[in-house]
Chain A
């Protein structure tokens, strides 16, 4: 590609690789960042975008390869070092101190001090006000960060990065929590920074957004860079093609069994957001026995929250759910599990398993009552069930008494799935079941899902992986901003229609609501 004049390369990554224990996150990546331009980086979840950015920002160190800044090789041992070289980053997860004020957050670690080494709060607030002014957010610098809406917090994070006076500014999904109006303001700020010659690296899932503000685009897939172009030469189709690629992943084949009758129905599920509005907005759906219903949506679309509501984890949720046509009146998780619901949560470490307990204890944690006579756990029956689950899910473990944290991510995920299956569920809710596990384990998980649906289990699974939802689902539901914005049969579903439905109600995308219902 031939760069436009004036867009000199300021930062260059040459043949960068990053290996974590067991997985390769980035493979031989070459990436150029140009001055005075928006350099877009796009790819599916787990493609390695965030890892690549963390390498640039000095948070992670590459396993191999060189980083060239202004043509000179550099290596950052900490993010502070990268900041001192003019590289700033807006992180995807908010890195703010909720108990401190906005101004204190913006100047954290580089506090303005007076002659007596006392923090100059007045000065900080004055300076912070200038940055916040640009963002037109109506945030006062003396407000506590925890009192702000998530969107406003994201703006504070952006103000913090802008205040660094960085030459290179990395924004990792900066709009994920912003309203349409706030997105417009952010774009104005970005245009302003561009005019001042700042190089911006912009990561997002929202293709319309990228096409609108990007100058250069780089696509990552499975840790490899699969395409690099000037934005004016590409369209949505090209991006999707580069993101997904032609080589099919190992999805278990559908076996053509016919789903049975309705096993689960949710009606008008609503969950209020703490900051106002609805995180889950009047969602109704039904699931048949032996059917796999994929729920596609971007981060924050409300998929996990919907699952939480179904499991009874939120007291303030409203709506009705039915299993086999009978209403589920129980409001707590324990009794909903007894009614035949089971959840495999998205965050394995925090919600899926008790990492210091053994594989066996984790597997039977949700179903202990099955192995109990009076109050005594029958060790034999428990061991037998554990052994059977280990075999069925091909969990690689030398001894089930081993701590579960000693397993690889994929095997841990299988333990979490096994725990849910041992409760004998009728409906299985799987939230991002393939997140953070390697290819082989993914294939195992997908095969298991197929097998379970053949055995008559109803499966609801949420994902932000387009490929996955297309390949595995019998039907596809799309969520956006807490609403159900699309419902497709597999035969009629197209990637374009799904992506369009997932962007409804988000940002500046000027889409008609033809797919909504």
Chain B
């Protein structure tokens, strides 16, 4: 979406545009750099088992970061995703263990598919609350989602009185078994969670590029007033992005509790910050209007590989935080430099055209 046509840039084959190309590919270059570095520095890093393990770690953040990318492109922010992860995990765990007591002597138990769907709906509903607060009540996105962050986390803790729902194996006679499939199952040799990531990512990228809704998301972030005058239903677009973000968070909640076969109410704390970091690293502009799903996925991989690789090298977790922070800052600095260079190259081209 934000790509400048290759033709125009390539035709001005000056050193400026070479540098520009390098800068545009910065997230890819960073990915290759961390891959090469850790293959040399960390033993076993390149083994297939380790790769799959890392991919599973990365997938969790990548889901959240995709939802976050759309939100940030519209010029908003969603701080509540970490809490939604926690709450959705608790919802799934509760349903597996307890079902829903109808208060008339019967208790309804759902099968695993139904539980997954209900959990996803819960995530979408919380996203819708975010969206309503922002569009109808005019609460700033930062504040609205901060409030929802606390409320969701509180509800997650209340649901079990702060305890973990353990051992979500389910009972065959109730049809609640098989919850572990999402987290531990494999298809064609790859974990199910990776396949889900591929499907959602392709869907999101398609949405961004080939649908009116995707185009409108960018327009709202680029210039909300102009979008409104052009007939874009700005409030609907905003509702969608927060609901999508909630949907992504619910997926993560499901996957984590399925992997652990347990739901812990504190799951997902500070996940929102990792998601924002991945989006920004992937070239999403916090001021709205710019960003790509592909970039965000690469950004999530850079962050994930960096932390896993440092763990394998035995670097202390304190240093890991310092390094992660520095990488994010450098990414944004390079991004700004690219913008400046970009406008200079464009001006030069305009001067040439006349």
Name A residues whose Cβ lies closer than 8 Å to a Cβ of B: 311, 313, 332-334, 337-338, 343, 345, 350-357, 361, 365-366, 368-369, 372, 375-377, 379, 398-399, 401-403, 406, 419, 423
A96–B228 Cα distance when bound, in Å, is 28
A401 touches B231 (CB 8 A): no
Stretch of B3-11, B87-95, B142-150, B330-338 on the interface side: B3-11
Partner of B223, one of A313, A355, A369, A372: A355
Q: Taking chain B's interface residues, is the majority helix, strand, or loop, or is none over half, making it mixed?
A: helix
A496–B203 Cα distance when bound, in Å, is 63
Chain B neighbourhood of A365, CB < 8 A: 215, 219, 226-227, 230, 232
A399 touches B227 (CB 8 A): no
B212 touches A423 (CB 8 A): no
B229 touches A311 (CB 8 A): yes
Q: Which 10 A-B pairs have the closest CB atoms?
A: A354-B222, A366-B230, A337-B231, A334-B231, A368-B212, A401-B5, A354-B223, A365-B230, A356-B289, A356-B222
A106–B205 Cα distance when bound, in Å, is 53
A350-B223, A355-B223, A368-B215 given as contacts; is B229 within 8 A of A399 (CB)? no
Chain B neighbourhood of A401, CB < 8 A: 3-5, 8
Q: Taking chain A's interface residues, is the majority helix, strand, or loop, or is none over half, making it mixed?
A: mixed
Can you offer 25 A-B residue contacts whose CB atoms are under 8 A? A333-B231, A337-B231, A338-B231, A350-B223, A350-B226, A351-B225, A351-B226, A354-B226, A354-B227, A356-B222, A357-B289, A361-B1, A361-B218, A365-B215, A366-B232, A368-B212, A372-B212, A379-B210, A398-B8, A399-B8, A401-B8, A402-B8, A406-B346, A419-B230, A423-B231
Residue from B212, B216, B346 whose CB has the most chain A CB atoms within 10 Å: B212
Chain A neighbourhood of B186, CB < 8 A: none
Q: B225's closest neighbor in chain A, by CB?
A: A351
A354-B222, A356-B289 given as contacts; is B229 within 8 A of A313 (CB)? yes
Chain B neighbourhood of A366, CB < 8 A: 230-232
A372–B211 Cα distance when bound, in Å, is 8
A377 to chain B, nearest CB (A): 5
Chain B neighbourhood of A311, CB < 8 A: 229
Name B residues whose Cβ lies closer than 8 Å to a Cβ of A: 1-5, 7-8, 210-213, 215-216, 218-219, 222-223, 225-233, 289-290, 346, 349-350, 353
A377–B350 Cα distance when bound, in Å, is 30
A333–B225 Cα distance when bound, in Å, is 11
Q: A345's closest neighbor in chain B, by CB?
A: B229
A354-B222, A402-B4 given as contacts; is B229 within 8 A of A377 (CB)? no
A376 touches B210 (CB 8 A): yes
B229 touches A333 (CB 8 A): yes
A69–B290 Cα distance when bound, in Å, is 49
Partner of A399, one of B7, B211, B212: B7
Chain B neighbourhood of A345, CB < 8 A: 226, 229
Chain B neighbourhood of A356, CB < 8 A: 2, 222, 289-290
B226 to chain A, nearest CB (A): 5
Chain A neighbourhood of B219, CB < 8 A: 354, 357, 361, 365
Chain B neighbourhood of A372, CB < 8 A: 211-212
A376 touches B218 (CB 8 A): no
B99 to chain A, nearest CB (A): 37
A403 touches B4 (CB 8 A): yes
A402-B5, A403-B346, A406-B346 given as contacts; is B212 within 8 A of A343 (CB)? no
Partner of A376, one of B2, B211, B228: B211
B228 touches A357 (CB 8 A): no
